[in-house]
Amino acid sequence: MTRELRWATALAASALLASLAPPASAADKDGGTPLASVRINDQKTFPGLPAGAPKAVWYGFPPGHGHGMGCGLLAHGATVIDPLVEPGEDGEWPSCMGVPDATSFDWKGRPVFVYRYLQRDTREDTYTYDAFVRVGEDGLEGVEGLEDEPSKLSLPKAAAWAKSTLAAAEGATDGFQPSKRDTVLAEHGYLLVARNPATGHCRIVADRLAAGGVPAALTLPCKAILATTSLSTPGADWLVAMTQAPDGKPQGRVFEAGTTEVREATDIEARLAAAVASGKVLAVKAALKQLVGR
């Protein structure tokens, strides 16, 4: 049995996918698949990814090894494929149906690549999976902690979920308990709200998927997390966090995640004060829509 590739999460099932072994004649001793041992159907690059991103490879196996297809990632200059899906011993299932899309996000100054691929388990059942990988010193490596991706996310929101999950884990080391219900995933960024019950403080993180222009996490006294909402416009994602102040009154913070930076929109916060005071998130969103348009 070759090594298990544990960087994929299912959109159709919550369990972490472990890839099956490739045919014995194709797999090398390290668990990769030599490029020269398979029949390449497609080697795909994605223009929106940073330089040095792995290629997505879709391939079949020599006669006698079944009709199932494999797909994987080929690092720059590599001759061995890191498999995402390859058929089992019967040479038929699971079978890869291709890698249709990919995106990336920045984490600590390094790109994390997100590849979406299709795995067919039977003639009737095809599932969508995402792989989160980065380039390490020894080749491609998975990103730990991204095993429970929610279902039916668009690819940009899958990237936003992944980055917010990493940020939540980082905040948890300081005692801030994230609220999945109050995490906002947008097309170009995310908003994460967490509370430290020991200190009575909330931590708000508003971030873009791309690097740069991101403010430090905002920490403020709070009794509870009330709600979050967002509004996407052509120029920016508007992200709103509502918390309960120590005096029991609702308080709101608004962030504009634009194309180059994130800012706390204090001008908009002032104009939303009456809606925030109502404590009703739908009223806040309606007022926000009137202010910034859509």
pLDDT along the chain (294 residues), means of 10: 36 29 38 92 94 96 91 96 95 96 96 97 95 93 93 95 96 91 91 97 96 92 96 93 97 95 96 96 96 83
Q: Which letter does DSSP use for residue 180 in this model?
A: G
CB 194 within 8 A of CB 176: yes
| Tokens 């348009």 -> residue | 293
pLDDT in the model for residue 138 = 87
Shortest CA distance to 243 belongs to which of 185, 174, 192, 208? 192
Flag whether 150 is in a domain.
Answer: no
Residues 19 and 133 in one domain: yes
Flag whether 3 is in a domain.
Answer: no
Domain extent for 209: 155-292
Tally of domains in the chain: 2
Last residue of some domain: 95, 117, 142?
142
Flag whether 65 is in a domain.
Answer: yes
Q: What distance in Å separates the CA atoms of residue 201 and residue 199, rounded to the nearest whole number?
A: 6
Residues 126 and 166 in one domain: no
pLDDT in the model for residue 2 = 31
Flag whether 147 is in a domain.
Answer: no
Flag whether 276 is in a domain.
Answer: yes
Residues 122 and 159 in one domain: no
Q: pTM for this structure?
A: 0.88
Residues 63 and 166 in one domain: no
Residues 124 and 169 in one domain: no
Flag whether 149 is in a domain.
Answer: no
Residues 196 and 257 in one domain: yes
Residue 253 pairs in a beta bridge with 241
Last residue of some domain: 107, 142, 177?
142
> Tokens for 24?
């014995």
Shortest CA distance to 253 belongs to which of 178, 203, 179? 203
Q: Where are the beta strands (DSSP E) in the chain?
A: 8-10, 16-17, 33-34, 39-44, 55-60, 70-74, 80-85, 95-107, 110-120, 126-136, 139-142, 177-178, 184-185, 189-196, 201-208, 218-221, 224-232, 237-244, 250-257, 262-264
Residues 180 and 133 in one domain: no
pLDDT in the model for residue 294 = 64
> Tokens for 119?
């795995």
pLDDT in the model for residue 64 = 82
Give buried/exposed letters for 85-108 (b at 16+ CB in 10 A, else e): bbbeeebbbbbbbbbebbbbbbbe
